[in-house]
Chains A and B, each alone.
Chain A
């Protein structure tokens, strides 16, 4: 026997007052009457035998205990292992699942058909959980025991125009899993060898790898000539024009000649034909549009996945930030950097090293490179913009010293843009990496005499080229501090990126990716609205008296506007579960998944108490005070 909600066993304590009251009641109260004569003469004989009288005397207690046990059973939700069979399915509903296959079915339809076949084969009572692995993952059937409901939930779904998050969906499925022996069926059009190799995952790939051409992004061309693989020389844009870079990606279509067109208001403004030379090709177009005008970029020929052949936007095109994260694995950094208007390239240290050897101009590969605990010292050329988290100094600028331990920031530059909206008082560093900055470094934060964050510009470069190398050093590994679990972490990270790119705060990205639920304290339902970090209203609903944003798209500061003083909550991302942060600077708090509850368990504790008391009182009244039970 397994209990879904073992906390319900606490209600067994109700046995104590029930038995206590019974024993107290058995102490018969004394009543003085004028004369006993006729009371004693009145027939008190009982037709029941001795055992019958005993049972009847204890009937009240037995029934009350039975009610308490039933209450405990309802609240603790016991599950018979024999009926604990479950079907866990993760279905990729990202944009690529719209790809049309040979039989004119999309990959999503194929995956759905596979799930429906499985569901049709399971008996009623098997708990089926279906999770869609888009961004964010969505649970459309949560331990559903009725196959019809699963079918109904699936039939309403279509692929979303989002990226896949299969790994997070599998993590979610593992958390939803009640029986560790159950396997998770993953249906996707991509193959993840690491996940597929897990013993509890059954990976099912749908669709064939068709040749594909896609518009990966459109960004403002700020530096002419920096676009890689740009085909054909294009004249410099006119003063009233804006040059944009259209980034094309392809698979299986190398050397194919494609045509990129820019159109607005039904009118083609620019057109260019280029051959595809690499996995990624940048095509530069120029056009003149009024700010706020919508435009459309289209690439031909079309393919089996036409959705990504077109990109839409609003003029002027924002500057696109290309980030490169060099890490052996850091979900905190990955999530904080995965932003709209930013492309993130994940590299292992080995891949990064190989890429640098192949492509020396590092600043052309990415606007900012984030090095997470680099291990190779003095190997990086001093060119580009870097954020270095701990490890060994890859540029050989700093000196090594004995690492300090157990630190909190004590001094910092309050006006520094790096520390905007950050509460350093709650940072805690277990151990530094022992870097001692050079004399020309600008120290931003330190703990007594131990520098924690400092900015370095190479004085060896010419005056006009000093900004070609800027590195922000964080003198500790992220794993040795608590800042990744703080709401201010993505804020700090993007402060640093904005600082490196010389972007003003108003131009900077103000949103930080996450996918976690967010809850505000109880508010009045009528006039409350939630504004996300980008200033847009987001969908929120009331659940258990709180206002919950089920799928926030960004981390950062959310504002609950009720007409009075707004309430602010910040969100951060953590890898292994759902966490919501309090106000800025507060520690993120684990939020366990809500258990599936019986209707009784949905009552508040006082409601359960009232229900139990009513049941006990009913028994008491019926049995004792109506004279059903009679003492022998």
Chain B
């Protein structure tokens, strides 16, 4: 079970933060997020020139009669954002100093859920390791934060990471499109490409937060060692010389860069978080810079 704290100090960091509208997607329910949609909504926003493919039923004939040019009315639609948070609670997330990767992931998950709950959005939170774990679906209101914290604190840390299976299960259960935030170290051998592609195919927006510790970068690993995988228990003998460590770090850096590029090229979001990073900085600066919050 990850040990972390999410109290008034952490909550105060999240005050006045809201999700940016670029991540909002259309939804049946009305909410606080305004999105531009032609032909729907009640509030007039603007006109724009008709282009091929637009529904001709949306052409404002009054304007056409006056200008002899087809124009379409743009209306503003207020919708609700569904924020889905998937937190990796596999065995590999237990490592970390001064806080474990799981603890940092849980604090970020709480912060992101809190921002959604305070803005009237709906939050679905689930843990995963080798499969999708406990889930809290369609939470609304600030009071739901307590349930989220309780769930995360009681989630057992263990098992291997199987992101594809967990995402498949999530996709089957999800009823609303929205934002999917994955908090993990993304070091599982199964890869991350296929699950993210599947989420995108389901028209989810994806925000990948990769949480790593200095141990992942090889800190403290030196000399002849037998390395044991914390999840699978497999071992391998290495002599961690400087050259070998540099090579390892280069590969891990390339892995993180590939994940970042994979998300960015598809219009999705990526954030790197270290267990040594300051929580407040991550929330107020990291998430803002990545365009998730404002």
A residues in contact (CB < 8 Å) with B? 25-26, 28-44, 624-631
B187 (CB) vs chain A CBs: closest residue: A35
Pairwise interchain contact A36-B236, C-beta atoms closer than 8 A: yes
Besides A30-B226, A33-B229, A627-B242, 10 other CB < 8 A contacts?
Answer: A29-B225, A34-B215, A35-B231, A36-B228, A38-B248, A38-B255, A42-B244, A627-B240, A630-B241, A631-B224
Contact of B244 (CB < 8 Å), options: A34, A37, A44, A629: A44
Most buried by B among A30, A39, A630: A39
Pairwise interchain contact A28-B226, C-beta atoms closer than 8 A: yes
Q: Is B78 part of the contact surface with A, judged by Cβ < 8 Å? A: no
Q: Is B35 part of the contact surface with A, judged by Cβ < 8 Å? A: no
Within 8 A of A (CB), among B208-246: 213, 215-216, 220-232, 234-244
Shortest distance in angstroms between B273's beta carbon and chain A's nearest beta carbon? 15
Pairwise interchain contact B238-A631, C-beta atoms closer than 8 A: yes
Shortest distance in angstroms between A46's beta carbon and chain B's nearest beta carbon? 10
- Complex CA distance for A626 and B238, rounded to whole angstroms: 15
Q: Is B294 part of the contact surface with A, judged by Cβ < 8 Å? A: no
Shortest distance in angstroms between B250's beta carbon and chain A's nearest beta carbon? 9
- Complex CA distance for A327 and B251, rounded to whole angstroms: 97
Q: Is B95 part of the contact surface with A, judged by Cβ < 8 Å? A: yes
- Complex CA distance for A629 and B240, rounded to whole angstroms: 10
Question: Contacts A41-B251, A43-B247 hold; do A30 and B223 have CB atoms under 8 A apart?
Answer: no
Chain A hits for B223, CB < 8 A = 624-625
Pairwise interchain contact A37-B187, C-beta atoms closer than 8 A: yes
Chain A hits for B247, CB < 8 A = 42-43
Q: Is B38 part of the contact surface with A, judged by Cβ < 8 Å? A: no
Within 8 A of A (CB), among B240-267: 240-244, 247-248, 251-252, 255
Pairwise interchain contact B188-A625, C-beta atoms closer than 8 A: no
Contact of A34 (CB < 8 Å), options: B185, B189, B242: B185
- Complex CA distance for A630 and B185, rounded to whole angstroms: 29
Contact of B251 (CB < 8 Å), options: A30, A32, A35, A42: A42
- Complex CA distance for A29 and B225, rounded to whole angstroms: 5
- Complex CA distance for A624 and B223, rounded to whole angstroms: 7
Pairwise interchain contact B225-A30, C-beta atoms closer than 8 A: yes
Chain B hits for A43, CB < 8 A = 247
A25 (CB) vs chain B CBs: closest residue: B224
Q: Is B92 part of the contact surface with A, judged by Cβ < 8 Å? A: yes
- Complex CA distance for A578 and B227, rounded to whole angstroms: 65
Question: Contacts A34-B92, A34-B213 hold; do A630 and B239 have CB atoms under 8 A apart?
Answer: yes
Question: Contacts A36-B236, A627-B243 hold; do A31 and B228 have CB atoms under 8 A apart?
Answer: yes
Shortest distance in angstroms between A546's beta carbon and chain B's nearest beta carbon? 47
Pairwise interchain contact A37-B227, C-beta atoms closer than 8 A: no
Pairwise interchain contact A42-B248, C-beta atoms closer than 8 A: yes
Shortest distance in angstroms between B132's beta carbon and chain A's nearest beta carbon? 20
* Number of residue pairs spanning A and B whose beta carbons lie under 8 angstroms apart: 102
User: What are some 27 contacts across the A-B interface (CB < 8 A)?
Assistant: A28-B224, A28-B226, A28-B237, A29-B225, A32-B227, A33-B221, A33-B228, A34-B91, A34-B92, A34-B101, A34-B187, A34-B215, A34-B216, A34-B230, A35-B231, A36-B227, A36-B232, A36-B234, A37-B188, A38-B248, A39-B227, A39-B236, A42-B238, A42-B244, A627-B239, A627-B240, A630-B239
What's the tally of chain B residues with a CB closer than 8 Å to chain A? 41
- Complex CA distance for A265 and B201, rounded to whole angstroms: 133
Shortest distance in angstroms between B218's beta carbon and chain A's nearest beta carbon? 8
Question: Contacts A37-B187, A627-B243 hold; do A29 and B226 have CB atoms under 8 A apart?
Answer: yes
Shortest distance in angstroms between B236's beta carbon and chain A's nearest beta carbon? 6
Contact of B188 (CB < 8 Å), options: A29, A35, A40, A44: A35
Chain B hits for A627, CB < 8 A = 239-244
Pairwise interchain contact A32-B222, C-beta atoms closer than 8 A: no
- Complex CA distance for A9 and B229, rounded to whole angstroms: 48
A628 (CB) vs chain B CBs: closest residue: B241
Pairwise interchain contact B239-A631, C-beta atoms closer than 8 A: yes
- Complex CA distance for A31 and B238, rounded to whole angstroms: 10
Pairwise interchain contact B238-A39, C-beta atoms closer than 8 A: yes
Chain A hits for B242, CB < 8 A = 626-627
B246 (CB) vs chain A CBs: closest residue: A42
Question: Contacts A624-B223, A627-B239 hold; do A30 and B248 have CB atoms under 8 A apart?
Answer: no
Question: Contacts A44-B244, A630-B241 hold; do A35 and B221 have CB atoms under 8 A apart?
Answer: no
Shortest distance in angstroms between B226's beta carbon and chain A's nearest beta carbon? 5
B216 (CB) vs chain A CBs: closest residue: A34
- Complex CA distance for A292 and B294, rounded to whole angstroms: 116
- Complex CA distance for A29 and B237, rounded to whole angstroms: 10
Chain A hits for B232, CB < 8 A = 36
- Complex CA distance for A630 and B248, rounded to whole angstroms: 15
- Complex CA distance for A38 and B92, rounded to whole angstroms: 14
Question: Contacts A38-B252, A38-B255, A41-B251 hold; do A631 and B230 have CB atoms under 8 A apart?
Answer: no
Shortest distance in angstroms between A619's beta carbon and chain B's nearest beta carbon? 14
Pairwise interchain contact B251-A38, C-beta atoms closer than 8 A: yes
Within 8 A of A (CB), among B162-191: 185, 187-189
- Complex CA distance for A35 and B240, rounded to whole angstroms: 16
- Complex CA distance for A33 and B188, rounded to whole angstroms: 13
Chain A hits for B230, CB < 8 A = 32-35
Pairwise interchain contact A33-B227, C-beta atoms closer than 8 A: yes
Chain A hits for B252, CB < 8 A = 38
Chain A hits for B248, CB < 8 A = 38-39, 42
- Complex CA distance for A33 and B215, rounded to whole angstroms: 7
B244 (CB) vs chain A CBs: closest residue: A42
Chain A hits for B213, CB < 8 A = 34
Question: Contacts A44-B238, A627-B244, A629-B239 hold; do A34 and B95 have CB atoms under 8 A apart?
Answer: yes
Pairwise interchain contact A31-B237, C-beta atoms closer than 8 A: no
Chain B hits for A38, CB < 8 A = 187, 248, 251-252, 255
Most buried by A among B213, B221, B229, B255: B229
- Complex CA distance for A32 and B252, rounded to whole angstroms: 17
- Complex CA distance for A28 and B220, rounded to whole angstroms: 15
Chain B hits for A25, CB < 8 A = 224
B222 (CB) vs chain A CBs: closest residue: A625
Contact of A31 (CB < 8 Å), options: B216, B225, B241, B251: B225
Most buried by B among A32, A41, A624: A32
Q: 4 closest Cβ contacts across the A-B interface?
A: A627-B241, A34-B92, A35-B187, A631-B239
Interface readout for B133-149 with A: 1 if CB under 8 Å, 0 if not?
00000000000000000
Most buried by B among A25, A36, A628: A36
Pairwise interchain contact B189-A28, C-beta atoms closer than 8 A: no
Shortest distance in angstroms between A406's beta carbon and chain B's nearest beta carbon? 68
Pairwise interchain contact B235-A30, C-beta atoms closer than 8 A: yes
B93 (CB) vs chain A CBs: closest residue: A34
Most buried by A among B220, B242, B248: B248
Chain B hits for A33, CB < 8 A = 95, 215-216, 221, 227-230
Shortest distance in angstroms between A32's beta carbon and chain B's nearest beta carbon? 5
Chain A hits for B220, CB < 8 A = 31
- Complex CA distance for A36 and B91, rounded to whole angstroms: 13
- Complex CA distance for A32 and B95, rounded to whole angstroms: 9
Shortest distance in angstroms between A623's beta carbon and chain B's nearest beta carbon? 11
- Complex CA distance for A35 and B237, rounded to whole angstroms: 14
A41 (CB) vs chain B CBs: closest residue: B251
B225 (CB) vs chain A CBs: closest residue: A31
Pairwise interchain contact A36-B225, C-beta atoms closer than 8 A: no
Question: Contacts A35-B231, A39-B238 hold; do A630 and B226 have CB atoms under 8 A apart?
Answer: no
Interface readout for B84-98 with A: 1 if CB under 8 Å, 0 if not?
000000011101000
Shortest distance in angstroms between B81's beta carbon and chain A's nearest beta carbon? 32
Pairwise interchain contact B255-A31, C-beta atoms closer than 8 A: no
